[in-house]
Amino acid sequence: MPTQANKLLPYTIIGDGIPVSLTGSPGDAARGRALVLARTTTCILCHSGPFPETRFQGDLAPDLTGTGNRWSVSQLRLRLVDASRFNPDTIMPSYYRNDGLVRVGRNFAGKPILSAAEIEDIVAFLATLRD
């Protein structure tokens, strides 16, 4: 297994969030919006939101409208990285994790669901979702 390429960047949890960007630089909200709507990131499978252009939205998880009012950037980052810290029974995957999983498919083994840069883009976009 190629370990070097899949190594996760270190991050520090403080309180209920990760205050510092995983990549060290801010994400791009426009790219983040496109990522949230791409089915491969899986967000839109469970969440809905202010996305009039697609009807393929899920309702297993809260609507993303107003997310930027409800959570700080630091909280959003930790929720994407590892939502199970808030609720061990959550169905929301830990998007920045590559171990402790069962029977991961060959194409995905050792890799997080999202890269650090993708998480930063999505966090930047979610922070703009204000009522």
Residues binding another protein (CB under 8 A)? 39, 42, 44-46, 55-60, 91, 93-94, 101-108, 111, 113
Minimum CB distance to another protein smaller for 8 or for 29: 8
- Residue number with CB closer to another protein (99 or 131): 99
Q: How far is the CB of 30 from another protein (least distance, A)?
A: 23
- Closest distance of CB 50 from another protein, Å: 16
Segment 39-48 long-range contacts (CB within 8 Å, at least 24 positions apart): 41/113, 41/114, 41/118, 41/122, 42/93, 42/113, 43/122, 46/91, 46/92
Q: How far is the CB of 91 from another protein (least distance, A)?
A: 5
Q: Which helix (H) or strand (E) holds 36?
A: helix 29-37
Backbone angles phi, psi at 41, to 5 degrees: -80, -15
